[in-house]
Structure 1
Amino acid sequence: MAKVFGATSTTEDVLSGVNLKGKRILVTGVSAGLGIETARSLAEHGAHVVGAARDLAKAEAATAQVRKDAAANAGGFEIVTLDLGSLKSVRAAADDLLTKGEPFDVIIANAGVMATPFEHTKDGFERQFGTNHLGHFVFVNRIAPLLRAGGRLINLSSGGHRFSNVNLDDPNFERTPYEPYVAYGRSKTANILFAVAFDKRHRERGVRAAAVHPGVIRTELTRYMDPAQFQARLDQIAQQLAAEGKELQWKTVAQGSATSVWAGVVARGEEIGGRYCENCHVSDIVPDDVVLSPVNEGVRGYALDSDSAEALWKKSEELVGESF
């Protein structure tokens, strides 16, 4: 009988009794928070983890424990440079991995930014859409040939996808007033739609893709947000939840990383393929007219729409000037 996990499950709970020796897993964003814990837990259970990060020095310092746990449990760990805000860096990183030709069993697209001021990537894309979606879109598609049959792609999305559907007519806010959370929502919806389209293209060889929401966690993801505005938003959420007789439940980093690990190496591929997961299970679609608070589960239907996923794929290829 399969174990049942939930919101409070940790990476150790999910991986209890799991031996990942011989598995190669790539995790982006290993310089902080969820990326570090995801890499550490997998390496601790014997996997060889390739971490990717923009700031190599920061990542090296932040992952000392990852290396220790890997060495103590017959796992492995290495870091490659990847700046998702620069397609030149993205393509160089992918080309280096392709040249080495070493396969992967799982790719966990964990890195991202949240609620940034209005800025552009080095290629002129709105920063959140460009980093969270387009950078991963090019990187993952370029190294897709390295995914073994039966492999997985896990995209880190967020309950923040509920803030907004994608806007393919104005992805860079050239005609739309910029709002940080709307931009974040667009990028997180794009992460889900990318998983849907990738899953469709690769499932015949047993490769499945899913998107996951880690939960509400205190990490560096909020570093771009004004502290006063962030606190005001937390207060607003607390008031909303109080009216429902609930309170905001913060997850630990180990709890937040659990769903990525569960979807990547524990859950059945046919269970999670093309789906959105949270709290270590597949989420149900919730109609757009149903108000959801941060403690409610559910995914908006527009984030799993196959036609939207195909339209996003086509638009993404146009934007980056590369077809996959």
Structure 2
Amino acid sequence: MTPAFGAHSTTDEVLAGVDLTGRRVLVTGVSAGLGVETARALVAHGAQVVGAARDLAKAKTATEPARAGAALGGSLELVELDLASLASVRACAKGLMADGRAFDMVICNAGVMATPFGRTTDGFETQFGTNHLGHFVLANRIASRMAPGARLVCLSSAGHRFSDVDLDDPNFERTPYAEFVAYGRSKTANVLFAVEFDRRHRPRGVRATAVHPGGIHTELGRHMSPEVIRQMTDAAQASQAAGQFVWKTIPQGVATSVWAAAVAPADRVGGQYCEDCHVAERQTETGARGGVQPYALDPDRARALWAKSEAMVGETF
């Protein structure tokens, strides 16, 4: 029976007694925050981790503790990946495919949040292009290297409740730009991508899930002013059913990622949205802290987003 974990569980608690020797894992965004902790925890339990980052020098420094804590044959290597450039994404995927070794887990952890309006190298709105389209191309291009039984974990957020995807205007060409609406669209896209990837690859034993790590102070909030952070904390506090809202630590924030990737039963998490180390319930109540909006799990919406994403990146998967 799978142990019960919750909002305060840490990576080390979730992975206690778990031997990942020989398991190969790709983790994006290993230069700071959740990505660094994800790599550290997996390497400490014997996994062979490939860490992807835009700034390799920063990532090398940030992941030194992970290499120092390697156990059971665990290891960490770094590869360059700029999710805001499809050329970089494709080059990274080409290198991973040429390597020939299979992956048992792919954790799409990297992302940006509440950025000022901007565009990626390829002209996509920054948050949608980085958080969704970059990972969409990467995961699909290496999908054949995901071994039977492998899992894809897409980091989403409670921010998906800010907005559904807009398939008619994904780049804010006609819609007034709002930082958190754009973030919400990208995080909903992360869930819908996991839903459709799971449907497509489930017959060969590869599953996908989306996770919300929780409220955590990391570099992800670099574009948010202290006043905006305070307002978000107050809003979370107001919607908390009982007790006081408390920010999670980074190890607590990573717990759901490693739980979904390596601990939870595949049939339990496949095609689902998880938070606090459990599968979230569908929630339509305005202002609710927990749960997932039904539109983020809509299979028809997921298929439509997949088709739109293929058209935007110019590739069919």
Same fold at TM > 0.5: yes
Tell me what 1:291 maps to. Answer: 286
Amino acid at match of 2:277: C
Q: Can you list the C-alpha shifts for 1:117-171, whole angstroms capped at 9, x where unaligned?
A: 0010000000000000000000000000110001000000000000000000000
Q: Normalising by the residue count of structure 2, what TM-score does the alignment of the two structures yield?
A: 0.98
User: Aligned match of 1:316 in 283, 286, 309?
Assistant: 309
CA distance in 1, matches of 2:210, 2:173: 28
Tell me what 2:61 maps to. Answer: 61
- Partner of 2:315: helix, strand, or coil? coil
CA distance in 2, matches of 1:96, 1:194: 23
CA distance in 2, matches of 1:213, 1:236: 18
Tell me what 2:204 maps to. Answer: 205
- 1:236 shift after superposition: 4.1
In structure 1, runs of 5+ residues without a counterpart are none
Tell me what 1:255 maps to. Answer: 252
Q: Can you list the C-alpha shifts for 1:239-282, whole angstroms capped at 9, x where unaligned?
A: x247x554212111001000000000111111101000001010
- 1:18 shift after superposition: 0.5
Amino acid at match of 2:109: N
Tell me what 1:20 maps to. Answer: 20
- 1:226 shift after superposition: 2.6
Q: Please tell me whether residue 302 in structure 1 is matched to residue 278 in structure 2.
A: no
Map 1:188-203 onto structure 2 (within 5 A). Answer: 188-203=187-202
Tell me what 1:36 maps to. Answer: 36
Q: Please tell me whether residue 117 in structure 1 is matched to residue 116 in structure 2.
A: yes
Amino acid at match of 2:248: K
Q: Can you list the C-alpha shifts for 1:263-313, whole angstroms capped at 9, x where unaligned?
A: 0011111110100000101011112xx1234xx320000000000000000
Tell me what 1:161 maps to. Answer: 160
- Alignment coverage as a number of residue pairs: 317
CA distance in 1, matches of 2:100, 2:252: 33
CA distance in 1, matches of 2:234, 2:2: 39
Q: Please tell me whether residue 273 in structure 1 is matched to residue 266 in structure 2.
A: no
Is the contact between residue 241 and residue 247 of structure 1 (CA under 8 Å) also seen in structure 2? Answer: no
CA distance in 2, matches of 1:266, 1:13: 11
Q: 1:279 to 1:99 in 2, by over 3 A?
A: same
- 1:2 shift after superposition: 2.0
Is the contact between residue 217 and residue 247 of structure 2 (CA under 8 Å) also seen in structure 1? Answer: yes
Q: Normalising by the residue count of structure 1, what TM-score does the alignment of the two structures yield?
A: 0.95
CA distance in 2, matches of 1:197, 1:23: 25
Tell me what 1:146 maps to. Answer: 145
- Partner of 1:178: helix, strand, or coil? coil
CA distance in 1, matches of 2:303, 2:2: 34
Identity level (%): 61
Amino acid at match of 1:307: D
- 1:101 shift after superposition: 1.0
CA distance in 1, matches of 2:315, 2:223: 30
Comparing 185-194 and 224-233, the one that deviates more: 224-233
Is the contact between residue 239 and residue 287 of structure 2 (CA under 8 Å) also seen in structure 1? Answer: no
Q: Can you list the C-alpha shifts for 1:38-57, whole angstroms capped at 9, x where unaligned?
A: 11000000000000000000
Is the contact between residue 213 and residue 253 of structure 2 (CA under 8 Å) also seen in structure 1? Answer: yes
- 1:20 shift after superposition: 0.3
